Amino acid sequence: MAVTIHEVARAARVSVSTVSRAFGSPEVVNAETRRRVLAAAERLRYRPNRAARGLITGRTGNIGVIVPDLENPFFHGVLKGVQSRAREADQWVFLADSGEDPTIEHELVMQLSKQVDGILLCSSRMRTAQLEQAAAERPLVFLNRKVPGSPSVLMDSAGGGRQIVAHLAGLGHRSFAYLSGPRTSWSNRERRRGLRTAAAREGLEIVELGPYVPRFEAGGEAADTALERGVTAIVAYNDLMALGVLARFAERGVGVPEDCSVSGFDDAPMSTMTTPSLTTVALPKAEAGRAAVDALLGLLDNGDGSERRNDLATRLVVRASTGAPRANRRARTPRKRARMTMSDPV
């Protein structure tokens, strides 16, 4: 039989209303009294009625999370952090997948708003007008999307791009292709910005291809185009695309890294399971998920929706898929003079 609030009140030697306030409005309860109530609840394994608590606080105890693609392993790491921090804060998580479609993402915000206190948008693809309408429905926190006037948790994608280029330059590469991600992706713009800045500094030629839907199949398609441009290295928007490149190169008998180096972003678990293992930029996924929940809870508690940023560092993880280019590559593979391709607008 479930433990009741009356049993907790007797064990803590307080009234039932004090137990209710200790869970629903802790700021109005003396710290020592609340400590005694929580200790009794823990000892008796009491779990407060969420519906009843909602009547007191006006909150559901639910938060929403929307991701653009659940098949992308990057979001698995983020969601682990979200779930871990939400559990600690006694919050339930409602999860939805927008399928890389900004219209569906907007519809999901409207639907979830009826069931949650606030929403965490991961790598939002929505346009400005959609974001403004969504923000009017429920408190929003953005992960990997900088939105003026709103709290956000950002990962240093530009810094990761600079690290990749410095690594390739150190290996002796003079050109590389960037397989661009979604046109509306903030991360894509930041990665491209870092790559361009470092390429100009290092004197490397960058060929930009895309945009592509950031999935395995797109990497395979882009690999052929990149080879035609005669580059000695490929940087993919994410690890899924990079793995698609590796698979296509294996089919064609293209040596990695002998004929072409390959790198990605995210440091997804399968990046160590390929042959060769994948050089990539490690992103603090779980840390970002936890930080985003903290930002959302802070927004719900104090009502301040002003712009706040939590910037998290990234780091390059060098594995076997990058190496020095073959000295005779130009002789074996005729290549056109490559210039920066503006396939994806700034």
In CATH, what number does 157-283+316-332 get? 3.40.50.2300
Domain 5-57 falls under CATH 1.10.3210.10: no
Q: Please, is 129 exposed, middle or buried when counting C-beta atoms within 10 Å of its C-beta (0-12, 13-18, 19+)?
A: exposed
Position 31, amino acid: A
Residue 36 and residue 13: Cα distance in Å, rounded? 9
Can you tell me which residue has the tokens 């793995």? 243
Domain boundaries, given as residue ranges, for the chain: 5-57, 62-155+285-313, 157-283+316-332
Residue 124 and residue 171: Cα distance in Å, rounded? 35
Q: For 62-155+285-313, which CATH superfamily applies?
A: Response regulator (3.40.50.2300)
Same fold, 62-155+285-313 and 157-283+316-332: yes
Per the structure block, which two tokens stand in for 322?
């990058």
Q: What is the residue-level pLDDT of the chain in tens, covering all 346 positions?
A: 678 888 889 999 999 888 877 876 677 888 899 889 989 988 988 877 665 555 455 678 899 999 999 999 999 999 999 999 999 888 999 999 999 999 999 999 999 998 999 999 999 999 988 988 888 888 999 999 998 888 999 999 999 999 999 999 999 999 999 999 999 899 999 999 999 999 999 999 999 999 999 999 999 999 999 999 999 999 999 999 999 999 999 999 999 999 999 999 999 999 999 999 999 999 999 999 999 999 999 999 887 766 678 899 999 999 999 999 986 444 334 333 333 333 333 3
Helices (H), 113-156: 128-135
> C-alpha dihedral over 129, 133, 138, 142, to 10 degrees?
0
Give 176-217 pLDDT, tens digit per residue: 999 999 998 999 999 999 999 999 999 999 999 999 999 999
Can you tell me which residue has the tokens 């938060």? 63
